[in-house]
Amino acid sequence: LPVFSVIMSKRSREAYDSVVTFIKNKYSTLNPSVIIADYDARMQGAVKAAYPNARVVGSWFHYAHMLNKKARQLGHADLLKTSNWARQLIKHTMALAFLPPDRIEDGYNALVSLAAENENLDKVMANFLEYVKRVWIEGVGAEAFSVCRQRRRTLYAQEPYHHALLKKGQSDIWTLTDSLRKQERFSVEKLKSIAIGSKCPRPPYVLAKAKVR
What is the residue extent of each domain of the chain?
7-58, 61-142, 156-213
Burial of 145 (0-12, 13-18, 19+ CB in 10 A): buried
Q: What is the pLDDT of residues 136-145, one digit of tens each?
A: 999 988 988 8
Residue 123 has pLDDT above 80, yes or no: yes
State the pLDDT at residue 41: 85
Kindly report the pTM of this predicted structure: 0.70
Alpha helices by DSSP H, listed for the chain, are 13-26, 41-50, 60-73, 77-82, 84-95, 104-117, 121-124, 126-131, 142-145, 159-167, 173-195, 204-207
SS3 state at 55:
strand
How many whole angstroms separate alpha carbon 27 and alpha carbon 119? Answer: 55
Q: How many residues does the chain have?
A: 213
Does the pLDDT of residue 116 top 50, yes or no? yes
pLDDT at 159: 62
| pLDDT for residue 150 is more than 90 | no
